[in-house]
């Protein structure tokens, strides 16, 4: 039996990178996948087709998680199309890096809105069906910089630290209804976004990691799979660092 057989999952921001990796791993483990995207309809269709090769149901929704009303509508659409929501993975996020001296108010506000408020919006949106079912797993994608901070990322670090606080508070509120909420804090993960970095920069970062390599989308996806499955039935309110030992 697969770990997520018959479970219906929402993954925000799944058209590429870590989100796509999570969708692929979940589909192989029997989950039905509802995922959100903002840009390419064609790319979303390719992912739908790829996921359904595993025998699961998959559907992409063009939806902005940072928009409260859009998040509410998405939850309604997923209930209509899938029947239930068993797992929510809040993965959508952006960076707009820069030193605080030069950071604009818009750069701060937009990162907080997309990274943090989307987690609030989507969690609110799935609460009613999860409360009714008295079951659910909510997994929020944070970052090691939300734990330790990082120069040039005051906005991003703040948004991820806020996600960790939200996760712990939500876990306390919902635990009695058998709804779990955890965060994952990835370290340096090598995806399409890091391919534009200079090779020397990447080498320097790898050398600072005890495991001497960057992480992969699958590393994060496997941890997310654990938290989505019944293997983690007694784990809630935790921030799990998946960083190769960057934080010790």
List, as own/partner pairs, every contact residues 128-131 make where C-beta atoms lie below 8 angstroms and the sequence separation is at least 24, other chains included. Answer: 129/75, 129/79, 129/84, 129/85, 130/85, 130/174, 130/177, 130/179, 131/174, 131/177, 131/179
pLDDT tens over the chain, length 248 residues = 899 999 999 999 998 899 999 999 999 999 999 999 998 899 999 999 999 999 999 999 999 999 999 999 999 999 999 999 999 999 998 888 899 999 999 999 999 999 999 999 999 999 999 999 999 999 999 999 999 998 889 999 999 999 999 999 999 999 999 999 999 999 988 876 666 667 777 788 788 899 999 889 999 999 999 999 999 999 999 999 999 998 88
Kindly list the domain boundaries of the chain, sorted by start residue.
Answer: 8-239
Collapsed DSSP state (helix, strand, coil) of residue 61: strand
Distance CA 144, CA 59 (A): 31
Provide the β-strand partners of residue 10. Answer: 34, 88
Two structure tokens written together for 17: 């990178």
Q: By C-alpha distance, which of 209, 194, 213, 152 is closest to 18?
A: 194
pLDDT tens digits along 4-59: 999 999 999 998 899 999 999 999 999 999 999 998 899 999 999 999 999 999 99
Q: By C-alpha distance, which of 185, 97, 95 is closest to 142?
A: 185
**173 contact partners, CB below 8 Å, separation of at least 6:** none
What is the pTM assigned to this prediction? 0.95
Q: By C-alpha distance, which of 210, 141, 146, 138 is closest to 181?
A: 138
**Domain 8-239 belongs in CATH node 3.20.20.70:** no
- Known catalytic residues? 156
């Amino acid at each position: 039996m697969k770990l997520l057989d018959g479970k219906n999952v929402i993954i925000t921001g799944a058209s590429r990178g870590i989100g796509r990796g999570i969708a692929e791993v979940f589909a192989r483990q029997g989950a039905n996948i509802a995922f959100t995207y903002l840009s390419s309809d064609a790319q979303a269709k390719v992912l739908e087709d790829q996921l359904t090769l595993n025998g699961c149901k998959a559907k992409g929704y063009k939806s902005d998680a940072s928009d409260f009303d859009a998040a509410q509508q998405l939850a309604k659409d997923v209930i209509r199309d899938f029947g239930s929501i068993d797992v929510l993975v809040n993965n959508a996020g952006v960076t707009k890096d820069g030193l605080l001296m030069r950071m604009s108010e818009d750069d701060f506000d937009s990162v907080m809105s997309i990274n943090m408020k989307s987690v609030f919006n989507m969690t609110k949106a799935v609460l009613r069906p999860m409360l009714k079912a008295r079951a659910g797993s909510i997994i929020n994608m944070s970052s090691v910089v939300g734990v330790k901070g990082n120069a040039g990322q005051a906005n991003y670090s703040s948004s991820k630290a806020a996600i960790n606080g939200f996760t712990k508070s939500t876990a306390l509120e919902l635990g009695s209804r058998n709804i779990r909420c955890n965060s994952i804090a990835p370290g340096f993960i090598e995806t399409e976004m890091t391919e534009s970095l200079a090779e020397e920069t990447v080498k320097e970062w790898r050398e600072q990691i005890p495991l001497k390599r960057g992480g992969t989308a699958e590393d994060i996806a496997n941890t997310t799979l654990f938290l989505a499955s019944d293997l983690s039935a007694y784990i809630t309110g935790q921030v799990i660092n998946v960083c190769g030992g960057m934080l010790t």
